[in-house]
Amino acid sequence: MSTTVSTSLDEFVAALPKVELHVHLVGSASPHSVVALAERHPESGVPTDLDELRRFYEFRDFDHFVRVFWAVQSMIKDAADITTLVTGLAADLAAQNVRYAEVTVTPYNHKLDGMSYDDVFTGLVEGRRLAEAEHGVKLVWCFDIPGEKGLEAASETAVLAVRDRPDGLVSFGLGGPEVGIGRAQFAPAFTMAREAGLHSVPHAGETSGPATVWSAIHDLGAERIGHGTSSAADPRLLDYLARHRIPLEVCPTSNVRTRQVDSIEAHPVRRMLDHGVLVTLNTDDPPMFGATLNGEYTAVAGTLGLNAAEIARLATNAVSASFLDDPAKRALIAEIDAVVADPRWQAGW
């Protein structure tokens, strides 16, 4: 691809208003924020040198990524740290023309690190206010269960979400390792959350097979699937996802960095799209993976040879799959359509 072509594609993607549906708050911490935290909390073992930090983020496999993530997680000690993460994420999103994001927060892990839930909520509320006031980005929350912590974590997270539901909480999720951690055991927690009006958005099919995705749908009432990468191995599942309009929160660079797929070219996103699945592009843990949302769009578009309308369809997919209200969805989609109509992009890349 020539420099001229690449620049045009980059400019088009940058011009598109976008939403992000799968990004973890702790995993969104910029390198500079992580270094500052590491200097305050040297016991964490996280490097305080940027070059060392980049090497620290060179993941060998998914288990190694989880260990790195936990090391960063352990440095978040108070409400101010939470607010710093939220506003830092908002600044990064605003720079990419991201207008709205659904951010995954794992309160139970913060409690294990000695924080009170009141501090977590205070940090989220203030960060959300500043994100919109200073960066024009609307943030809402998904509280998720750290699946490896078991049923106690599930029950406590569900009770917290329902009893003390903070402003901006819209969904309930399940993250962490998947192998050996069945989805069905978490059904009572998801039932409680769904009955309280929260949307079901569990991770499934990231590091396990299609059976995990089926379980997320049937046992947890999943309205969206976090990752869903292995869904492509089951054509019947892809047909079901397409027919029932259950979106996938696809995170290509994350899947490459955690060794779930070999490359963007090898990612099954094309099979998902060909089956008519509502695919959305997301970053997961962007600084940890060296990812940006704009970069996910340009990588997938360049690999698949997508034109402007096809790239825009990915952006509108994300808007449609979001939990924004209908007027906000229509307004954002109208903005996306206006960008596509600009004559600059009609000649392609």
Q: How far is CA 153 from the centre of its chain?
A: 21
In a domain, 218, yes or no: yes
Residues making up the chain, counted from first to last: 349
In a domain, 346, yes or no: no
- Which residue range forms the structural domain that includes residue 166? 3-340
In a domain, 244, yes or no: yes
Residue scoring higher pLDDT (75 or 66):
75
Domain holding 18: CATH number?
A: 3.20.20.140
Encoded tokens for 326? 């209908």
What is the distance between the alpha carbons of residues 128 and 121, in angstroms, rounded to a whole number? 10
User: What pLDDT score was predicted for residue 4?
Assistant: 45
Average confidence (pLDDT) over 324-348: 93
For the ranges 38-42, 121-125, 281-285, the lowest mean pLDDT is seen at 38-42
Dihedral sign, Cα of residue 88, residue 64, residue 201, residue 267: positive
For the ranges 10-19, 47-56, 206-215, 249-258, the lowest mean pLDDT is seen at 47-56
Summarize pLDDT for 132-172 with one digit per residue, the tens. 999 999 999 999 999 999 999 999 999 999 999 999 999 99
In a domain, 348, yes or no: no
Closest C-alpha among 205, 101, 187, 105 to residue 146: 105
303 has a pLDDT exceeding 90:
yes
3 has a pLDDT exceeding 70:
no
51 has a pLDDT exceeding 90:
no
User: Please, are residues 53 and 37 in contact by the beta-carbon 8 Å criterion?
Assistant: no
For the ranges 142-156, 189-203, 278-292, 314-328, the lowest mean pLDDT is seen at 278-292
54, 77, 291, 327 from 117: Cα distances, Å: 31, 11, 30, 33
β partners of residue 280: 249
Average confidence (pLDDT) over 324-346: 95
Residues acting as catalytic residues: 206
User: What pLDDT score was predicted for residue 7?
Assistant: 64
In a domain, 126, yes or no: yes
SS in 3 state form for the chain? CCHHHHHHHHHHHHHCCEEEEEEECHHHCCHHHHHHHHHHCHHHCCCCCHHHHHHHCCCCCHHHHHHHHHHHHCCCCCHHHHHHHHHHHHHHHHCCCEEEEEEEECHHHHHHCCCCHHHHHHHHHHHHHHHHHHHCCEEEEEEEEEHHHHHHHHHHHHHHHHHCCCCCEEEEEEECCCCCCCCHHHHHHHHHHHHCCCEECCEECCCCCHHHHHHHHHHHCCCCEEECHHHHHCHHHHHHHHHCCCCEEECHHHHHHCCCCCCCCCCCHHHHHHCCCCEEECCECHHHHCCCHHHHHHHHHHHHCCCHHHHHHHHHHHHHHCCCCHHHHHHHHHHHHHHHHCHHHCCCC
* Mean pLDDT for the chain overall: 93
Average confidence (pLDDT) over 190-205: 98
User: What pLDDT score was predicted for residue 2?
Assistant: 38
Could you tell me the maximum CA-CA distance found in the chain, to the nearest angstrom?
56
What is the distance between the alpha carbons of residues 231 and 212, in angstroms, rounded to a whole number? 9
32 has a pLDDT exceeding 80:
no
Average confidence (pLDDT) over 323-347: 94
- For the chain, what is the domain count? 1
In a domain, 144, yes or no: yes
In a domain, 347, yes or no: no
User: What pLDDT score was predicted for residue 6?
Assistant: 56
User: What pLDDT score was predicted for residue 1?
Assistant: 39
Look up the pTM and report it: 0.92
In a domain, 313, yes or no: yes
Residue scoring higher pLDDT (289 or 171):
171
* Percent residues over pLDDT 70 in the chain: 98
Q: How confident is the model at residue 73 (pLDDT cuts 50, 70, 90)?
A: confident
